[in-house]
Structure 1
Amino acid sequence: MKKLRTFTSTVALAVALATGGISSSALAVSARHSVALSQLAQDRSIGHPEVVATFAGAMPTGVTVTEGGRIFVNFPRWGDDVPFTAGEVKGDRVVPWPDAEVNIADNHHPATHLLSVQSVVADGKGRVWLLDTAAPGFSRPVAGGAKLVAVNLQTNRIEKTLVFPASVIKPATYVNDMRFDFRVGKAGVAYVTDSSLSGIGAIIVIDLDSGKAVRRLEGDRSTSPEPGFSPVVEGETLLQRHADGTTAPFSVASDGIAISPDGKTLYYSPLSGRHLYSVSTDLLRDPDVSEAQLAAAVKDLGEKGASDGLETDAAGVVYAGDYERNAIRKRSVDGQWSTVAHGPEILWPDTLSVGPDGYLYFTVNQLNRQPGFHGGKDLRQKPYALMRVKIDSAPAPAG
């Protein structure tokens, strides 16, 4: 039958040529004509992202926009020259914040100096919280250095410092991102992801009044790298590629985190994975709920794409970066996903923050081009960027 179809097609082509239906010269021209790549169909961009600021120095990760419109960013000490690890965007420059002195990495005074800030979050109550990993270069955390620091926006001074208890900071712990709820407890609670590169992921729950903290969902499937995960970024499988030619999987635990507007649901995901998970915050905080019971209550909300940062807005929409697709995506309240922004300039969207102006802000830092993924060669091209895209929604309240 296949031979018959081929014979029939050949006869039809011959008849068409003989009767003038197709010009043999036209066929020849089509085969020989050189077409520029720019004339071919292209991957289309989606949305209208705007550049807010660029960074010609160290690579940023976190961003937050306050209720008054101030913008803060952070630069973890991963190997770049980082003169200050937390800063405020002011016009066309970034200045150390809350001041230059506290940004001096001082391992002898780890509780009073910022060693390596990974995340910044405005709480809607006149403060910005800084999450200090105390683990520059992904080293073992400096004892007494992993902490939450609240800075007053009016005075630009540190208002509160909560050092994580040693019981929740393991040798391979890397505290990554945080969300707050001030509707519970005397001073509220913070939920923090441990995105350990070589250890076990978890959600750390810390009481903002007493400073007491516990690790929940430690080593659970939802806080761990997804088995068999093999991301493709810019057309290349993302692996740790060492200078000696050896490789290792890109395996990072729980990273992105967001909280529902009513504070009842926590959303999170591993950096090495494509699934979104959720769990009841009431159960997370309840000491009488066993780990087995808590794990059974975790919901797998399906694939969202591979994300670094997560965020929610006042309507309960969940936003997620998609570093494999150069995109920002959103999950509506009915569970359907759609793309907010997509384009070649969105090279590794990292942290997300909903501003009071109806924009979603996000950092773009080319994380996948770091030397560790390319045999020691740094393929990043400065400047890095802070971008935003209109979503016409307000930030989720923290209570």
Structure 2
Amino acid sequence: MLKEVASFDHQVTGVTANETGRLFVNFPRWTEDSEVSVAELLPNGDLKAYPDPRWNAWRNAQQDSLTATDHWVCVQSVVADKRGSLWVIDAGAPAQAQVLPGGPKLVKIDLASNTVAKVYPFGLDVAPQGSYLNDVRLSPDGKFAYITDSGTSGALVVVNLESGKARRALDGAPSTQFEKRLTVKVDGKPLQRPDGRGVQFAADGIALSPNGDTLYWQAVKGKTLYQMATDALQSAPLADLPGKVEKVGENGPADGLLIDNAGTMYISSVEDHAIKVRRGAEVSVLLEDKKMRWPDTFTQGPDGTVYVTDSRIPDMNFYNPKQGPALKTSLYKIVVKD
């Protein structure tokens, strides 16, 4: 069953728990110019702008007065590495549209001091126009970051965290693209904008094996889960990478992925108001709940609790013009009965 942990007045996407149980969430600037983009969710349910109000001071109307390099522009994901740091993916593309100069970046925050430790900026060679950096996983040894790009030309981005160098992998390869013949449906009906455009998110959900040797990903508009050895992603010639991709199986259209401490993969089944789990080749439904409109991102706390955000994408005014720019959304925890 689902138990609501918190509710928000803005559209939430990412959530993460660190090794001591601190929770962090983020609110991308898709249909509204949210006052807080990254926040710590305090035990009493309040939100604290993180790491400070200055990083959250960006407003779309102030693009000429604030620098995109050291402010949150359009944050899509937050991930704690369980090694004392929080990592933030800023796609730098408000409303999933124009990529702003200096906007795309990966930011490392030291959780002990609550200060930014390092910024990894991405130029147009890594985050070109049309890109939308989506989610990130960190290698257990802390040397690499793997990022999905769910934009118009899907890809994976691999960042050497020691050198700061990043490369764009599988750009335009079939495994990172949305599946053209597939239609994402909600409540049995195609999810479409007024002009007829449907969901077209490419490589989005991402998961890393517990030992860090295998990366998994899939498109939202896609049913197929793919995998690749991380050592190939790190160093093999880019031209060789498409031949090293392996199909794992079919998950159905999904947004977030998580591999928990036991090796179980959680899958946000966006068409079914459901959460599925994959154990090896077997995929089964863990729970269904109609109040969960679009399960988005997972995280696992130190006590084993799995949390999931509900970003309510079908209710956005992208797809429902009668809906205002703001959405009330929720964070749930999954409670499994014995």
Which residue of 72, 96, 105 corresponds with 1:114? Answer: 72
The answer to whether residue 13 in structure 2 is matched with residue 61 in structure 1 is yes
Alignment partners' CA distance in 2, 1:281 and 1:357? 28
Give 1:1-399 correspondences, 5 Å limit: 48-55=1-8, 57-90=9-42, 91-105=44-58, 107=63, 108-183=66-141, 188-196=143-151, 199-241=152-194, 246-287=195-236, 289-291=237-239, 293-332=240-279, 334-374=280-320, 376-378=321-323, 383-390=328-335
Where does residue 23 of structure 1 map in the other structure?
none
Give the paired residue count.
331
Query: Structure 1's 370 and 313: CA in aligned 2 closer, same or farther, altered over 3 A?
Result: same
Does the CA contact (< 8 Å) of 1:177 and 1:193 recur in 2?
yes
Alpha-carbon deviation of 1:356?
1.1
Structure with more strand by fraction: 2
Unaligned runs of 5+ in 2: none
Instruction: Return the letter of the residue paired with 1:100.
Output: P
Alignment partners' CA distance in 2, 1:81 and 1:167? 27
Alpha-carbon deviation of 1:182?
4.2
Alpha-carbon deviation of 1:121?
0.1
Alignment partners' CA distance in 2, 1:182 and 1:363? 24
Alpha-carbon deviation of 1:391?
6.3
Does the CA contact (< 8 Å) of 1:134 and 1:146 recur in 2?
yes
Helix, strand or coil at the partner of 1:285: helix
Q: Which has the larger radius of gyration?
A: 1
Query: Structure 1's 182 and 381: CA in aligned 2 closer, same or farther, altered over 3 A?
Result: closer
Alpha-carbon deviation of 1:379?
7.7
Query: Structure 1's 365 and 141: CA in aligned 2 closer, same or farther, altered over 3 A?
Result: same
4+ residue runs over 2 A deviation: 379-383
Alpha-carbon deviation of 1:383?
3.3
Alignment partners' CA distance in 2, 1:59 and 1:120? 14
Query: Structure 1's 50 and 214: CA in aligned 2 closer, same or farther, altered over 3 A?
Result: same
- Tell me the TM-score normalized by structure 2: 0.93
Alignment partners' CA distance in 2, 1:377 and 1:299? 42
Alignment partners' CA distance in 2, 1:109 and 1:379? 28
Does the CA contact (< 8 Å) of 2:11 and 2:326 recur in 1?
no
Higher relative contact order (CA 8 A, sep 6+): 2
Helix, strand or coil at the partner of 1:350: strand
Alpha-carbon deviation of 1:109?
1.4
Does the CA contact (< 8 Å) of 1:320 and 1:330 recur in 2?
yes
Alpha-carbon deviation of 1:116?
1.3
Where does residue 45 of structure 1 map in the other structure?
none
Helix, strand or coil at the partner of 2:68: coil
Does the CA contact (< 8 Å) of 1:165 and 1:212 recur in 2?
no
Unaligned runs of 5+ in 1: 1-47, 393-399
Structure with more helix by fraction: 1
Report percent identity of matched pairs: 35
Alpha-carbon deviation of 1:227?
2.2
Does the CA contact (< 8 Å) of 2:170 and 2:238 recur in 1?
no
- Tell me the TM-score normalized by structure 1: 0.80
Alpha-carbon deviation of 1:132?
0.8
Alignment partners' CA distance in 2, 1:304 and 1:207? 30
Alpha-carbon deviation of 1:234?
2.1
Alignment partners' CA distance in 1, 2:324 and 2:223? 25
Superimposed CA distance per residue, residues 48-84 of structure 1 (whole angstroms, 9 cap, x where no aligned partner): 21111111x2110000011111110000001224001
Instruction: Return the letter of the residue paired with 1:137.
Output: A
Alignment partners' CA distance in 2, 1:63 and 1:111? 22
Alpha-carbon deviation of 1:382?
5.5
Query: Structure 1's 370 and 264: CA in aligned 2 closer, same or farther, altered over 3 A?
Result: same
Alignment partners' CA distance in 2, 1:286 and 1:357? 35
Computed over aligned residues only, the root mean square deviation of the Cα atoms, in angstroms, reads 1.8
Does the CA contact (< 8 Å) of 2:32 and 2:326 recur in 1?
no
Instruction: Return the letter of the residue paired with 1:157.
Output: T
